[in-house]
Structures are given as structure tokens and as C-alpha cells.
Chain A
Amino acid sequence: MNHSTSKTLNLTLKIWRQTGPDQPGALKTYTLTNISTDMSFLEMLDVLNEQLIAKGEEPVAFDHDCREGICGTCGVMINGQAHGPDNATTTCQLHMRKFNDGDTILIEPWRAKAFPIVRDLVVNRSAFDRIIQSGGYVSVNTGGAPDANAIPVPGHMQKDAMAAAACIGCGACVASCKNASAMLFVSAKVTHMANLPQGQAERSKRVLSMVATMDAEQFGNCSNTAECEAACPAGIKLSNIAQMNREYMKALLFSCE
């Protein structure tokens, strides 16, 4: 998609509307005029909602919070791409200058059995919370910040742990995967702690438990297509999934858990 040169856009939106979890949904078409290319994608939706409210119609429900790409709350499929056309970007960080005058933009919610639709573009991602509850933490109090170099951590492991910790749990990996697999999310959480000294005591129990919960939540399997990696706004890599596979098999075959 080319950068637009015009300052304002006239757009046709096709948005998934659904009044409740068990209600039938459908795509509904809206037109918007004079949308500034400086707006973010969510601001464009705000403008639409103001117009809908003025007309006495129900506004489009969508999740959002920080609007600076760190909370992981926003996230919709934009023309079939999780968080839209940009790489390493959340929906709130996407700007309307990425679109052209006259474009039709199709907006759908994340679709996965484990992420049931609440309303319109809002899905219930508590399956992720239950995965975290089953092991995505360290049980003991690790105290305040230790003295520098008191616990030696090799540089590359610190970098890997830090990179994995960047996951914001938005669910774009699940949404973009043809199998609605949560492997990228779970692998980020598993490897984050497996790479640090504080995570060692519960290393085996953690991966066994989190994978069991992931399976119970009915996320799909990994076909190694790398769509999740391309959709991830936080830059989590397929190598995290490989490390989780390694952690899981080591725990399954050789640990006492």
C-alpha cells in the first residue's frame, strides 16, 4: 500500500457488526469523508462512532486503551491482516496515511474458537489470562533489584529474555495463524522466564502447565508458516516457538514433573 499524498481521505468501511456473543453478525458498510491522513486508525473509528451516535445509531464496539502500542488491548483484522498492513505495529499505531483516497477498508474481529466475540470487534481474550495463570510467573518473591553482576546472566540470554518479554498479549499471532494457534504468545512467556535465573526452579512445571492450558483452551497447532511472526507488533520470533518445543520435550521426557 503506497503512502497517500492527499491530506484527507474519503473511505468506504465494511465493519463486522454483532450485537452479542450468540447473535448472528454481518458486515455493514459505512462511508466516511474528509478523514485526515494524520489520524490514527482508532481515531478514524472514533470519528465514525461520533457520526453514528449523532444519527442515533449504535457505535462500533472496539477494544483500546493506551493508544501507544504497549498495552495490547487494541487489535482488529484490517483487510485480512492483523493490525493492518504495517509490520511491528499495533492497530492504534497505524496511521491513515497508509491508505489511499477512495479505499474500501474491511474490519473484522480476531477470529478463533478460543477468542469468542463479545460484541462487534471486541473479543474475549481471557484464554490468554488462564494460560498466564497456569504458570506465566515466578511463584516466589525474588526481592528487590540485586547488585549489578551479583547474578551473572550471559548477554545473549538477557537479550533473548528481554525480547520475549516484549510480548503485549494482543492476540495478533492467534488471529493471523491459519490454525488459530497461540504458540507464539505462549512461547514468548515460556522462554522469557526459562532464560533467566529466577525462572529456573519452576522451568519444567511452567512449560508443561502452560502448554496443557493452551491445548485445553482449544488453540490450534503450529504449521510453521511464520504468519504470527509477521503479524506480531512486538517482534516475537519463530525461534521462541522452537525453544518452547525444546523446553516442553525436555520437561516431558526428562523432568520429574
Chain B
Amino acid sequence: MEYLILLKANIKRQKGSFIGIMVIIFLVTVCVCSTITLCVNSKKYVESEIDRIGFGDYTSWIYATDYLDEIARDLERNENVDRVEIRNAIDVNEYFINGEISSDPKVFLMPYEGINLKYKRLNPEMTGVYEGDSKLKKGEILISPAFCELYDCRIGDEMVIELGEPGAITFKIAGYIEDPIMGGAMMGMKVVLISNDDYEEICEWLDGDYGIDYDNISNVGMIHTYKNTESKLSENDFQNVINNETILGEYTEYAYSRNAMVGFMLLLQNLFSGFLLAFVVILLTVALIIIGHNVSTTIEQDYVNMGILKAVGFTKHHLRILQIAQYMLSIFIGMIAGISVLGFGVSIMNQSMITVTSILIPTEIPFLECLSVLITILILFIAFIFIKTIKIKNNTPIKAIRNGKDEIYFSSRAKMPIYKKGMNFFLALRQFVSGIRGYIGVTFIVTLLVFVVMLATRMNVWISDKEGLLDLFSNIRYDLGIKYYNDEDREEALEIINRHTEIEAEYDYAGYHIMLNGINYNCSISGAPEYFYILEGRTCAYNNEVLITEFMSEELGIGIGDTVTVSFGENSAEYIVSGLYQNINDMGYNFAVSYEGIKRIADNIKTYKVYILEDSEKTDIITGELLEKFGENIDVNLSGRNWQGYDVLVMSVESLVVLIYIVVVIFVLVVVALTGSKILFKEKYDLSIYKVLGFNIRKLRMTFALRFGIASVIGSVIGIVLSALCTDAIVLIIMKMCGISRFSTSLGVIDTIVPSVVVTVLFMLFAYISSRKIKKVGMELLNME
């Protein structure tokens, strides 16, 4: 009972600290549990949905559809294969949405009725599964929500596909489907479901002699291969075996394993989770510092009461338990509050991400995972508070009489001069130096907050530099790609281009899926390999050389100087790895070869002539003129510049930056409120002396705010240095998920200064606001009567 009375009294007296810590723990809980929920639910859901829809362990795209059954039979004969499923689709390279031409992502038209039990149709709000009559009428299509993000299209908008001589076919968007296989906005292919009637009609055209533009639209078969559960082969070995021991490899245009598709689908979620995790670690550290500071100052404030309680028989253990109970209660309520709004928060987060992920991530909180993490955090806090309350041991009733002060409590002699001009600042500096212990925590917190803000800013600046990012992300840089069907067209096209701008470079380029050491990988073929982004070694200058990424190097255990076997159809040849390069295609699992190099095994490679223009801003005008002049006689490709995933990436990072800024602002507010009130309490005696001497409240509040300003400036400087040293390493861990193995950021002076100035100003502003309590500090404190 006595504990309860004292606990209630303590909470009542320190309700500010109690609420402040609750808010911090609330934020930490929301961030931690959101990250866990996003991570766990996304992974479980994508994996279960991929299996439910049926992707197999390995899926190969085959354009020679006449051989699908033969390939399947051959596969089924292999002892490592359990079963094979074939799914037919219509491959579309170019299409128009709301009048805008696109070839990225490419589209697979599939009949809805044939697979309606597999893909889930979403309601128009994309908040749940569609419950009405889901039968598709002729001319209607269902699209992946990612299209909304990529093309700003909605239900009722149109998609037009050029068939060739039969003209164009127009589809009306009737709704959305959840696409857990290819739905990720950054993925370069998408499923579009059409009615059975439309599907059959297009198939008839494709099968007949109607002058169809087969470069734009063609049949494709997906062969889903399921690994025998008894097979002991690793994923790579399994791919190697089925590509080499069966005829699959000869016909495969491109192929992806189940795990690769899961990886693509979880790319953004993982990116988000990675950043949130880094942020959460920093938040936890900040929370620990705040609580540590609060425990210490509260004990100092309560020395007298504690001394009295000791005098009447309470032991140090009783008092420590009381302190721990008080903080635990606050932490516990913060956690409960965090968990209670989590469902709502996660639901909003999922909803806002659906046009990026194309899946309805379940909002159920993974209690076991969250609980284990929260219990760990709780234990961490208990241990920390237990250590911090060790001071209670040293308090004696006699010390309590001295108001908790040691005999000389200002032993430090700060000799910084105080001048009349700028007295507020010099006084603040003196107060800062004399009470340095109280400000170390604040400085450290500022360091961490500035670090996290700088991290976010660096990311944002880096992401916003589209040119630099394209150089880094894209396999090769170009402004315009044109596939010519005769040389005369090329001459005329060059004339049109030259009318607008000089051409810096022209070379052949193509992207194919080609087997390297028996595994199907994305391969970049370039007539100008000097434009590849080389990390180590040199580019593949000779025709017997290839470049591989660092991820490939790690996965296959090969490096510069090693020999690899590259196979295309029935041909294969040995190549030497001349260097490591960076390319994010297929999350970094790809390789590159020169145009001359690929000719050793393939003489029918269809390449684009790609152009680097001196004035790349003229690209759109030139494209318009080219299309007007040549129509369907040439194929224009802009994907060297118009990287669709870029906008999604920018949007995602920007949202994250905003989120980080909001949390940082809340943290600054709570930190200032908690530490400020303690400092004011500690200094109320000095404050009343200053008041008596004639210092007005504005002056006193200003010196108080300046002290936080000084702490912030010091913290900011350390934060900036830390961020310069560590940001790249931290971001690289996360960016590896995207296929970036190396990168570095640099910030301009403005970008470096602005975040730290923002944090410093916020600290000073909140400190000034929280110092309004100075008004209430009365001079009667000095009256000893």
C-alpha cells in the first residue's frame, strides 16, 4: 500500500516526465512494430500468394510456344522436378495509356476467367477484395495498382495496343487486381487481365495471317517448374541442372526463380524497413539517453524526499524499485498506446503503399514477433534504469538535509569571459559549461537526430539527382534508343536528330536474358562497353570478356580473371571476367558483354541504336518528330532516361524523409520539454537571483534557449561529421537490396547546413517556449523568513 501511495505521489509530481517518456515510448513502439509488421506480413503474404497463384520454383518465359509441351515433358522426366505447369499469355511491348506511349513495364495479357480463382480482384478503392460480379466484359481489363502510380490512370481510363495491320485495340480499365508476382512498381513487367473473348480474339489474330506487328505483340508461355521436395539441390544448382539437363535452356527467353520474384516484390518494403530499422535504432538510443537523464535529474530533485524516506525506514532497494516501477508504468502505458494505434497506422501505411506494392499487406499485427521485441526493449530499459538508479544508494539522510548537494557542488571553474556586448550568449555559454553534465545528453541527442536527418537528407539529395542516379542505377546511359528496320531510315533519323542537337555518341545496345554458367541472367549487350559503370578491373573491351556485378561475383564465387561459360540457345563459349560493374537490373544479378563479344555465340541479336545527345532536353521533341515521320517503321525506346521506377523510388524516399522529419520534430519537442523542465527546476534559485538583479524574463528565456542552441550547434557539428563518415556505409547496407553494391554521397554546403540549422532552431524555439515557466519563478524563493 505504501508503494502505491508513493508511486501515485511521484507520478503526480512528475507528470510532465511521465507523459514525455510515454510519448517517446509510444513513438518507438509505433516505429518498431510498424517495421516488424511491414516486414513479417509482406514476406509471409507475398510468399503465400506466389505459391497460391502458382509460380513454381523457377519460371521460364518461352516465346517459341509451339515447344511448350515438349519442354514440359522433358522437364518432368528430370528427377529433380516434381511437376510443371504451363500458363499462356500475350506479350505486349508497347502500349498507350491515356495517350502516353510506354514500353516500361512490358505487359502480359492473360485471360481473367481462366485464372479468376487465383488473382484477387480488388474493389475500386483498393481497400479490399471486390465483392460484386467480377466477370469481365469484352473490352474491359483489370490492371495492377502499380499502373496508377506509374501512369496516373484510374478506372474508366483507356489502354491502347497497336496490333499492326488490324489496327489498334482499345481496352477500358474496369478495375484492379492484386498482383503478388509482378505487381511491384519497380518491376519491369506487369500482368493485365482481359476477358476470355478478347484473349481468344487476339490469339486468333496472332495465329492467323493478319499482318500483326509481332515485334510489339506475340504469344508467350510461362513454364512454372516445381522442384521435387526430395531434391537436395540448391536454388542455383537446380536452375543449372534444369537448364543444362533439359531443353529448357535452349528456348528460354528469360527466367526468374521464386525467391528472385519474392525479392523483387519485397524490394520497396525491405527498403522502407531497412530505413525504419536504422531510424528505430537511433530512436531507441535517444529514448535511452532521455530516460537516463530524466532518472538522474529526478533523483537529484528528490534527494530530500528520498533522504526522509530512508530516515523513516525505507531501504535503497525500496526506493529503487519505486523509481523503476514509476518509469516502467510510463513505458508500459506508452507501449500499450503504441500497440493500440498500430493497427490503424499499419492499415494507413499499407493503403498508401498499395499503388507501389500492388498487394494488400495484411494489417494483423504479428504479436509474437512484436511482443518479443517489445519485451527485449522493456528489459533493456529496466536494466538501464536499474543502473541509473544506483545513485539512490549514495543518498543519506544527512545529505538530504543539504538538499542533495555535496559540499562543493560547483567545482568546475569555467573561465570563459562574460562581455557586456552579447551578454545573453556569454551567460548562456557559462551556464552551459558549468552545467555541462546536464547538456551532454542533449548534445548527444542532437548528434543522433542531426545524424538521422542528414541521413534522410543525403538520401533525398542523392535520389533527386536523376542524372547521377541513372548513371549509377541504369546499366548504360543513353537518351534515345531507336530500332531501325533499314539503313535509309537511319540516315533520315540522324538528320532529324542533328537538326536539334549534336550526337555525343551512337552505339548498339540490347538487353537479353542469357545463361552464364548454366543460370539464366539478365545480360546487357553494348557496342560501347566504355560506358558501363566499372567498380573494379576494366570493361569488357575484347570479345572474349564479360563484366559481372559484385552480387554475381559473391553468389557464383567468381572474380576478375576467372573463366565463365556463356550460352545462348544451342551455342556457348568461354569468356574471361575482365571486371566488376554496377547495374541494378534484376536486383544486381546480371552481367554484361560487348556487342562484338556476344556475336561469338549469337548472330541474331536485335539491338537498338542508342544515342547520347548533347542536349538531352531535346529528346521529347526529337521522339515526336521521329514517330511522326516513321510511325511504326522504327521502334523508339526512351528507357535509358525514362526510368519508371525512378518516380516511385523518389516518392518512397521522400515519404520516408517526411516521416523522419515529423518524428524528429516530435522528439525535439519531448526532449526539450523533459530536459528543459529539469534544468529549470535545478536552476530556479539562480533564476530568481537574476530576476532580483533586474534581468527581465525575455532575457532569461533567451539565455535558456541559447544554451540549447549551443548544445545543438555542438551536436550538429558532430552529427554532420558522423553522417559524412557513416552515412554511405549505412545506406549501402540498405541499397544492396536494390542491387547497388557501391556508392557514395556528397552534400553541398546548403544541404549540409540547412538540416542542422533546422534542428538547432527547433531546439532553441522549443526551449524558448518551454522556458515560459521562468515567469512563474518567484523571487520569494530568496526570502528566508
Decide if A and B are genuine partners: no
A-binding residues in B (CB < 8 A): none
B-binding residues in A (CB < 8 A): none
